[in-house]
Every structure is written in structure tokens, then in C-alpha cells.
Structure 1
Amino acid sequence: MNITTLTIVILIYLAIMTGLMALGYKKTKTDADYMVAGRSMHPWVMALSYGAAFISTSAIIGFGGAAGLFGFSLLWLTVLTIFVGIFIAFAVFGVRIRRMSCNLNCDTFPSMLGTRFQSKGLTAYAGLLIFLLMPAYTSAILIGGARFLQDALAMPFNISLLILAVLVGIYVVSGGLRGVMYTDAFFAVVMLIGMAALLLSTYNAVGGIIPGHTGLSALASMVPEALTEQGHRGWTAMPAVGSSIWWTVISTMVLGVGIGVLAQPQLTMRFMTVKQPKSIYQAILVGGIFIFFMTGTAFIVGPLSNLYFVQNQGQIALQVAEGNMDRIIPIFVSQIMPNWFLYFFMLSLLSAAVSTLVSLLHVQGAAFARDLVDTLGAGKLVPQFGTRHWAKAGVLVSLLAAVVLAYVLPAGVIARATAFWFGICAAAFLPTLTAALYWPAATKAGALASTISGSLISGLGYVLLKEQEAVAIGLVSRLFDRATLLPFPWTHIDPLIYALPISAVVLVVVSLVTQKPAAQHLKDTFDKVA
């Protein structure tokens, strides 16, 4: 890439980012402005911000690379993200989240749950989960963005990682959620154009839609023997039902992310930012179109990269990427795109990384300030520090943790780290959130027991049962001299599959036998019109 051209492109990009963040900073006068953008965002801005925060380099680089390994079976995740992640999330959950957060005067996801159930313990526990565990997901996004910069710009991974971290740290600290959402909307437009162009270029590179899919089907015999033994039946076929790859694709990637999206703190906060509940309905179409092009493109391009690499290099994608599926998409893009377009697509991937990173870091900072410091009364120790100062401190700590993890996590971790966080959120928060919105009889004890049991069972599943994570952690091998506590299929079943039902049952059972909420509190929670 021409250094002069590259410098001009990046400077223009940064100038637009800086202008949008400055606009957000100028309009940020109160804690509510910093936390929930003053509850005054346009529904289309909210929808684009939601999509940009949801779709990141994790989806494009990580899950696109996973699709390059596993095939079109990941398109079921596109179906689920549109139906569950947009329609259900907006129409069923989003409208009530907006109304309840206003009724209870809450500006974070944990504080809404805690206030709804009149439990500071629930607020603090949810905030602690976010602050301690979300850096794993944040690091995955950092890795994805840094990997693309590494391959596109021939830049050392360590340098690209630090540049990306410093960039997002500056922007998220300065603009608050209003500035984050303004830049998210800009990023979403850039990403949409870039991914649409990638889809067209990919089909052009493999000879068209029908020749591309036909040619990919014919490559089934090139699936490595080790993958065939695990259930891989070609890139255009579903894995063998009940096989290890089938469990990985369906339970971890499709269900883990497709269901986990409903309980993502950084996404639920977007619903709190619009002027009125009905605005959320107006955002559904925009969100659905955006998610279709983002995930659909990644999960089509990944498998088709195998055909391109075989035609041009005689190897499948995983072999070209030297076994690291996180590098499949960056290498493929840098080979098929003309040089002039690589600049724009670099901005698309950079937008995907930065938009999600700033959203995640904002949520972690808010959780630290509002849900931990304020809830536990620690702010009184330094009275001159306001909520916004604590939030910025939380952002910096979270960013440092994510950078450290990005250096130590193994290769090919992006999709796994994403599924881990989404699964933890679903098991810990989804039953409690659903009950908060739709079951007035749910109790404080039931909500707290459900959230704790869901998070602990899910966490133990990763530590003791799920093979990839259990082997990496090594606790079972040290205690019992074997890789996992139980044999297959438990080694490949995502903990979400059993942790979520248990969490839901715990909530119902405990709520039925414990003291019901006060009638006036329920009236204030559900009956007000916000």
C-alpha cells in the first residue's frame, strides 16, 4: 500500500471520528448524557449503533474464519441473529427495557436489574461479572482488528495491537455513549459498503454464484481426514449430527451467540437511549438489513475462500492460513481485493473493531462506576471523583486487561472468546432479564439465585467439561490426570445448553417459595408510561 495514500485515508477517517466524538463531548453535560446519551437518540442511529456494537472483527474475522473451516452451516447463526438478535431483541425486549429503565431511573443494565428486584447485591454481582469477564471478549475484538492490520499493512502484531488499543482508549474516554453512538453510526455505514463490496468481489473471484457453490461442493474430498473423523462433511453440508464439530457449530456458535445476544449489556443499553419506546419499532428494519449483510457476508465469504485458494494455490483456506483460522479472512481479502479498495476495506474492518471496542469499554467503565463504586459506596472514599471520573478509570483498567489477554491468548481464539462471553451472559442474565420484564411475581431471591447459579454453572462447564477451554486452563488435568471431567459429548457441548435451563428453573422455584415484591414497587415499575 502506498504510504502517502494510506496516511491521507487514515487522517480523513480519524478526522471524521474526532469530529463525531467532539460533537458527543459537546453535548455531554450530565451523567445521563455520558451513560445513556441523554435518552434522545434517533431510532436509526440507535439501530446502526446496535448493529455496529454487535458486529465486530469477531464476527467478520473470527466467525468468518470459522466459516472458512466449518462451512455454510454457520449461516444458521445469521438466521438466528436476525430473528432473535433484531426482531425479538427489539420488539419483545427492547421496548420494555426502555420503559422500565426510565420508570426506575436506571442507566446501566445491572442497575436496572438490581432496582427492579430491589437488590444491591444483584447490581453489584452483575457489574462484577461484566467488569471481570468482559475483557476476554474485548481482547478477542482487539486481536481481530490487530490481525487484519498485521496482514493488510505488513505491520507487526504487537504494534498494530497497541495502536488500536490507544486509539479506542482515547475515543471512549472522551465522548461518552453519545459520542460512541455517533461514531458507531458512521462506522456502520462504512462497514455496510465494505461488506457488500466484499460479497460481490468474492463471487466474482470464484466465477459467480452457481459456479462458486457448485465448485465448493466438489471440494468435499479435500476436507482433512482429522476433520472428517470429527464430522466434517464438506463446506456446503451440515456436519454429521451428534459429531464433535456439529456440537461445536450448533451449541457454541449458533445457539451460544444467537441466544446470548439477548442479554448483552452493551446492546441492551442501546434501548435506553431512544426518546420513546415506539422509536425502537422504527429501528427494526434498519437493524435487520445491517445484520443480514454483516453476518451473511462473513459466513458466505469464509467457505468460498476455500475454493479460491484451491484454484489459485492448491490448498484449502486453513492450510493457507497455517492452521490459524483467524487469518483466513485477512489473507483472502488482501489477495482478492484491488489495491485501491484495500484502503476502504481496511477502514471497514477498523470500523468493526473500534465500534465494538468502544461500546464494550464504555459498558465496563459504566459497570465499574455505577454498579460497583456507587452501589458499594466506595465513591465516598474519594468524594472529589464523580461518576464520570470513575467510569473513565474503569475504562482504562478494562482496556489494560484486554491488551494483556490479547498478548497471552492462543491463536484462533476470536470466535471461542466471543461464544464464551455470549454464553455466560445468556446463562447468567437472560432468565433474570426476562422475568424482570414479564413476570411481576419474580422475587429478589429468585433473581439473585438465578444469576449466580447461571454464571457459576456456565463457568464450571468451561473449566471442567468443555475440552478446548478445560485443556487450556489445565485444572482437571492437574487434579484428575485427564483432560476433562466427563467424556464426549460433554467435551463439545457448550455450557449454555445446560446452564441456561438450570438458571431458569432456579429462578422460578426460588421465586415461588420466597417473599413477593411490594405492590407499590411493582406499580411504579410496570405502570408508569415513560
Structure 2
Amino acid sequence: MDNQLLYSMLAVYLVLTVFLGYLGFRHTKSAKDYMIAGGNVHPVLMALAYGATFISTSAIVGFGGVAAVYGMSLLWLTACNIFVGIFVAFVFYGVRTRQLASELEVKSFPEFLGARFCSPFIRKFAAGVISLAMPLYAAAVMIGGARYMEEALEMSYGSAVILFAVIVFSYVFFGGLRGVIYTDAMQAVIMLIGMVALMILTYSALGGVTAAHAKLSALQHLVPAPLAAKGHQGWTAMPALGSELWWFVISTLILGVGIGVLAQPQLAVRFMTVASSKDLYKGLTVGGLFILLIPGVAYTVGALSNVYFMEQSGQLALAATAVGGAAANVDKIIPLYITQAMPEWLKYLFLFTLLSAAMSTLSGQFHIIATSVSYDLNPNRDASDKKTLLIARLGTLFGLALTILLAFQLPLGVIAIATALFFGMCTSAFLPMYTAALYWPKVTPQGAIVSMVIASFVYLLTVLFIHEREAAIFGVCFKLFGVNTLASAPWTYIDPLVITLPVSAITLVVTSSLTQPGQQAVIVKQ
């Protein structure tokens, strides 16, 4: 290990992070500055911050590892992320969100929903869901970064988690969203450099693009029997149509995460940070390119890592993580591949790539938790900016503590699952009412409330008692009934979102239709 090179790179990284956090602190004078960065962020900065918050270690480490197991079918998620997560999000959701947020003079996503429907209950319920569910996603991100540090720096997992937490906390606590956006932009550039270098060196190590993909296709006969029985047809092919793995890839990964991005509160608030709708259009190219290069490279390299491990040790990627009696861990595939296959300088560059991916997403997550606790759930709506900022910073402490607890408690290989869970919950609870808030004038407050509440509880019940993957992790169903799930195939592996999103949308339409006379929501400041 070249400690001099590592410490030099670390020093530069930390100096830049602290400096940008300080700039955010210097320019954070009001609640508006803390929550939406004053509403005048440059479009390129916004697009980079949006992408860096969207794509985290969860995508690079967690989903990259999943691609090593299930193959390049995950590239459909990249395509979905670009079309839905950037184009649809910016053009159809971002523009309307920014316009309405400006008219309503709101500073957070829960406040936006509450003001749009004239409902304090919607605001508080949404803030409560975010405050309690966001740490699950934050823990997944923190685990991804910590696992790489564990491999690359030969440090304990616990120490890596604490180090992550301290660095992120320092600039979110003081700098608010301005500090978050400044550091996100820097971290986005580091991520781009690191992932491009990883792609080039991976193809070079495996004999070029054509040779690498041919070698991966040739491994089809080595698909483990349990995976083949579930529909795995090789790492360059989609799982068999209608099989258990096909449903997992399509409904949980591509649909759950690809569409779920539209209802992410930490991303929706980014639309409120620019001065005009034109700025959102200006950010489209930057955002699309970022998504193409970061998760696209991660999923490709994840699948190709099977070729490397097979040539070096005669094992597939997942089996290679089970060394020294340790259990195989999908979350360690990418860290192990980088530390074994890449040169020393890239190992360190990738460390900072993952640090950047984790920091940028965690900062956005902690910021949303802080504003939900201090601003949306705060009963004193007339509090001064000084008091609001103080409570917001205490809210950051709450989110940090819960996230650290989960990072130590969640089981192995949980990154992609935890991410999909949070995306699914937000999509079920918020997406239909959020869409209606933007485009359907006849939606009623009653329709929005019933849709949000029913969808939240149906999603929770489905996760705990129906969908076997998550039900087995939480263990509630087993403790109560002695079985992991109360359902039978195919419902045990069809993602809960497939059930709850239609329930949420239908409930919204039906309830709004029944409460229509004189009940239309009007756009007024809450």
C-alpha cells in the first residue's frame, strides 16, 4: 500500500470538501438558503448535484454486485434512469415542480404536497414517512462505501462507517443545501473520472470490448444450478421471460428503481434550487451523460468481473468473495474486483469515487431528514430562521444516529434490496398524488390523503408478509406465523410496487371522483 499517495489524495479531497462546505456555511443565512440553496443555483451545478445524489455507492457497489450475479440485464435500468430519471423527471416533473413551488413559496417536498392540497396532515404524514424510511436508504449507501474501505484500506467495517458519518455530518450540519450542492458538484466530477478510468482499464485487462463480452457470453454453461432453475440464462442475456429472476430484475430493479426516482424527495427538492424552468432544460445533457457513465459502467464492469475472477481463480465473482470461511457477499464483489484487478493509483482514485458517491447521496439524504424533522414536523411554524436552522441541525443528528444503527444491524448483501425498498415506498405513497398535484386540477385533498395512507400501509404489509426476500430479512412474519411469507408464487417474488402503485393510483382517482363536488384542491400558500 502506497501510504504517501493515499494520504496526499486524501488531504486534497478533505481540503476541497471542507472548503466547499465552508462556502455553503458562509452563504447560509436563512431557512431558504439552508433548504433550497436560495433558489438560484447554476443549472450545471444543479444537474451534477442531482446526478451525484441520485447515483450512490448503492448503485456502484450494490447494483454493480447484483450485475455480477444476474448479468447485463441491469443495463435496462441505466436506460430507464436516463429516460425516466433525467428526461421525464426534468421536463415533466421538474419544470412544474419549480413553478408551483415558487408560487406557493415552499421550501421542502412535504411542504409542497401539503400546500398544494391545503392539508397540514399530508405535509406531516409525508415528512414522517421520509424521516423514518430515509435512514434505510442512507444505511445502504453507507454500507457500500464502508465495504470498499474495508477491502481497500484493510480497516474494520465499523471504523469505516464512523469515518463516513463524521465527514458527511460536518458539512451538512453547517452548510445546508448550499454546502451539499457545492460538494456534490465536486464529487460528481470525481465520480466521472473514476468510472471512465475503471471502464477503460477493465476492457484493457480483458482483451478489449469485443473479446471481453465474448468471454462473458462463453461463461453461460457455468451458471449455478439454483440460478438456472430460477431463469438465469447467462450474463449477457435477460432471464427467462416470466421466471423468478425476470420478475426480480424487471419489477424490483428496473421498475422499482427506474420509476421510483420520480418520487424521491431528495431529488424533487433539487428542482426548487434553480431560478427558472430554462435552467432545468439546460441541465438535461449533463444529467443524462452522468447517468450513462456512472451506473452504466458499474453494471457493465460488475458483469465482466466474472471473466476476471474466472481467469484468475477459476471462480465466479460471487464465489470469490467467500474467502477464509466468510459467507459469500454480493456487496463485496466490486470492492474485491477493484482491489485485486486494478493498479494502485486507480484503487485509491476509486476510493474517492466511492467516497464521493456516498457523500453526495448521504448529504442529500441527511438534509431531507433534517428539514422534515425541523421544518415540516415542527409545530412552531412561526419560528425564526435562527431557531429553524438549529432544529434542522439537530434533525441531522437524528438521521445520522438512525442510519449508523441500521448500517450495523442490516444483514449481508442488503444494499440493492434496501435501496429498492425505499424507492418503492416513496413511489407507492407519493408518485400518484405528486403527479396529480402537477397535472390534474380535479384531484381532491381527500383523494390525496387516502391514496397516500393506504398505499403506505399496503406496501408495508406486503413487504413484511408477502414478498419473501424482504419478509425473511425483517422476520416479522416468521415470528408471528412461523413462515417467511403468507403467499405463494408468483406473489412471493413479484415486487410489492407492482401491487401498491396501482392501488395508490386507483384509490386516488376513485376517492377524488367521489369527493368532487366543491372539494377540488386549489393552489394556495399553506
Query: TM-score range, shorter-chain basis?
Result: over 0.9
Q: Distance in 1 between matches of 2:38 and 2:295?
A: 30
Q: Distance in 2 between matches of 1:482 and 1:358?
A: 38
1:409 aligned residue: 410
Matches within 5 A, 1:461-480: 461-480=462-481
1:282 aligned residue: 282
1:338 aligned residue: 343
Q: Distance in 2 between matches of 1:215 and 1:384?
A: 60
1:108 and 2:108 are equivalent in the alignment? yes
1:499 aligned residue: 500
2:325 aligned residue: none
Q: Is the 8 A contact 1:48 1:185 kept in 2?
A: yes
2:194 aligned residue: 194
Cα distance, 1:47 vs structure 2: 0.2
Structure 1 moving runs of 4+ over 4 Å: 515-520
Q: Distance in 1 between matches of 2:517 and 2:392?
A: 34
Q: Is the 8 A contact 1:325 1:412 kept in 2?
A: yes
1:245 aligned residue: 245
1:59 aligned residue: 59
Task: Give ranges in structure 1 of 5+ residues lacking alignment.
Answer: 526-530
Inter-CA distance 75–167: structure 2 relative to 1 (3 Å threshold) = same
**Paired residue type of 2:2:** N
1:205-231 per-position Cα deviation (integer Å, ceiling 9, x unaligned): 111111111111110111111111111
Cα distance, 1:174 vs structure 2: 1.1
Inter-CA distance 460–343: structure 2 relative to 1 (3 Å threshold) = same
- Out of 464-473 and 251-260, give the one that drifted further: 464-473
Cα distance, 1:117 vs structure 2: 0.1
- Out of 507-516 and 464-473, give the one that drifted further: 507-516
Q: Distance in 1 between matches of 2:129 and 2:521?
A: 30
1:25 and 2:25 are equivalent in the alignment? yes
**Paired residue type of 1:163:** L
Cα distance, 1:385 vs structure 2: 6.7
Inter-CA distance 520–261: structure 2 relative to 1 (3 Å threshold) = closer
Cα distance, 1:312 vs structure 2: 1.1
2:120 aligned residue: 120
2:460 aligned residue: 459
SS in 2 for 1:272: helix
- Out of 467-476 and 61-70, give the one that drifted further: 467-476
SS in 1 for 2:503: helix
- Out of 21-30 and 405-414, give the one that drifted further: 21-30
**Paired residue type of 1:474:** G
**Paired residue type of 2:374:** A
2:330 aligned residue: 325
Inter-CA distance 450–355: structure 2 relative to 1 (3 Å threshold) = same
Q: Distance in 2 between matches of 1:165 and 1:24?
A: 19
Q: Distance in 2 between matches of 1:12 and 1:30?
A: 30
Q: Distance in 2 between matches of 1:472 and 1:24?
A: 39
Cα distance, 1:516 vs structure 2: 5.7
- The number of aligned residues is 520
1:442 and 2:443 are equivalent in the alignment? yes
**Paired residue type of 1:445:** Q
1:364 and 2:369 are equivalent in the alignment? yes
Percent identity, aligned pairs only? 48
SS in 1 for 2:273: coil
Q: Distance in 2 between matches of 1:3 and 1:177?
A: 34
Q: Distance in 2 between matches of 1:138 and 1:433?
A: 23
Cα distance, 1:521 vs structure 2: 3.7
Matches within 5 A, 1:9-408: 9-322=9-322, 323-373=328-378, 376-377=379-380, 386-408=387-409
Inter-CA distance 515–390: structure 2 relative to 1 (3 Å threshold) = farther
Cα distance, 1:170 vs structure 2: 1.0
Q: Is the 8 A contact 2:441 2:521 kept in 1?
A: no
Inter-CA distance 379–132: structure 2 relative to 1 (3 Å threshold) = farther
TM-score in terms of structure 2 length: 0.97
**Paired residue type of 2:150:** Q
Cα distance, 1:476 vs structure 2: 2.2
Q: Distance in 2 between matches of 1:93 and 1:484?
A: 37
Inter-CA distance 516–178: structure 2 relative to 1 (3 Å threshold) = farther
Cα distance, 1:18 vs structure 2: 0.9
Cα distance, 1:378 vs structure 2: 8.4
Q: Distance in 2 between matches of 1:242 and 1:128?
A: 36
1:370-424 per-position Cα deviation (integer Å, ceiling 9, x unaligned): 1111xx34887xx897111111111111110000000010000000000000011
Inter-CA distance 15–178: structure 2 relative to 1 (3 Å threshold) = same
Inter-CA distance 481–518: structure 2 relative to 1 (3 Å threshold) = closer
**Paired residue type of 1:204:** S
Cα distance, 1:482 vs structure 2: 2.2
CA RMSD of aligned residues (A): 1.5
Q: Distance in 2 between matches of 1:140 and 1:517?
A: 45
Q: Distance in 1 between matches of 2:381 and 2:112?
A: 20
Q: Is the 8 A contact 1:150 1:157 kept in 2?
A: yes
**Paired residue type of 2:489:** F
1:62-85 per-position Cα deviation (integer Å, ceiling 9, x unaligned): 000000000011011001000000
1:528 aligned residue: none
Task: Give ranges in structure 2 of 5+ residues lacking alignment.
Answer: 323-327
Q: Distance in 2 between matches of 1:499 and 1:519?
A: 25
